[in-house]
Amino acid sequence: MKRRAFLATPLLLPALAQAQTRDPARLRLALLPDENASTIVQNAQPLRAHLSQSLGRDVQVVVTTDYSSMIEAMRFGRIEIAYFGPFSYVLAKSRAEGIEPFAVGVERGSPTYRSIIIATAGGPVQKLEDVRGHPVAFGDQASTSSHLVPRATILRRTGLAGEKDFRVVHVGTHDAVARTVEAGRAPAGALSEPIFHSLLARNIIRRDRLVDVAFSDPIPNYPMVMQGDLAPTLKQAIRDAFLNLNNPELLRNFRVEGFAPTTDAAYDVLRETARILNLDLSRMS
């Protein structure tokens, strides 16, 4: 039996080599559905053109319906490159071990960012402990800064657990969280601090209708991820296209000032967050 297995091994080598040198004529880049999808696609057209020119092939920008569908698209090879949220990357990696994070967004010189918990001005929530007994608005279930990290932050700092001490309300996107809290439909909510400031700068929400309640500890920033079975020369070209990107207009799509190299180990802190919340990654949708 051992001899037959040894003799069969060389027959597998061409197939394995081919599997790790995929060189498609079109690359599909998925961006997170953390705001309105049509706005994301429209704003990303200059980026798409830049990447097409840099990589010498057609690039298609894709915005999936939610975080779960983006994870599944990466898992089944329907996209080649993805800009994941930190925790949605951890989920994707748990289901598709061959994917590779290669770049992380840098903002204000740091590859980290924070989650912000906001409340309706004049409402019943003015400090974290006040969320007891109230609905709290969160984004997608797999969102790092609009669900998992702020929920863990509330638990660590106050001992209050979601669905036990306060009602968890998922409204989908970060901007939906801000609008929900601004309108008083939920007295408190959580979202990415950079997205919050972007919404304020674009006058999508009003500062006088919202108050800051708390900030999370630093979170590793969003990673750029690629399929591990792409041809080595293509993978290097993709790395270079992002790590050398310095056009502020194009970087605005990612709300960062640039990209730095990263590895999977940088996201172990999110695996620890899952442990704190008693989340089974294999069961999360």
What lies within 8 Å, CB to CB, of 63 at 6+ separation is 30, 31, 32, 33, 37, 40, 41
CA distance 178 to 118: 8
Task: State the pLDDT at residue 209.
Answer: 97
Residues of the chain with pLDDT under 70: 1-20, 281-285
Does the domain formed by 115-217 have CATH 1.10.4080.10?
Answer: no
Domain spans, the chain: 19-109+220-283, 115-217
Task: State the pLDDT at residue 253.
Answer: 82
**Token pair for residue 26?**
């079109």
Taking the alpha carbons at both ends of the chain, their separation in whole angstroms is 41
CA distance 183 to 121: 10
pTM for this model (two decimals): 0.73
pLDDT tens by residue, 235-263: 999 999 999 999 998 998 888 899 999 99
Task: State the pLDDT at residue 36.
Answer: 78
pLDDT tens by residue, 206-216: 999 999 999 99
Task: State the pLDDT at residue 3.
Answer: 41
Task: State the pLDDT at residue 6.
Answer: 39
Task: State the pLDDT at residue 144.
Answer: 87
**Token pair for residue 32?**
């997170």
Given this chain, do its domains 19-109+220-283 and 115-217 carry the same CATH topology?
A: yes
Residues β-bridged to residue 22: 230
Measure CA 196 to chain center: 15
Given 3.40.50.10490, 2.60.40.420, 3.40.190.10, 1.20.1440.120, which CATH number is that of 19-109+220-283?
A: 3.40.190.10
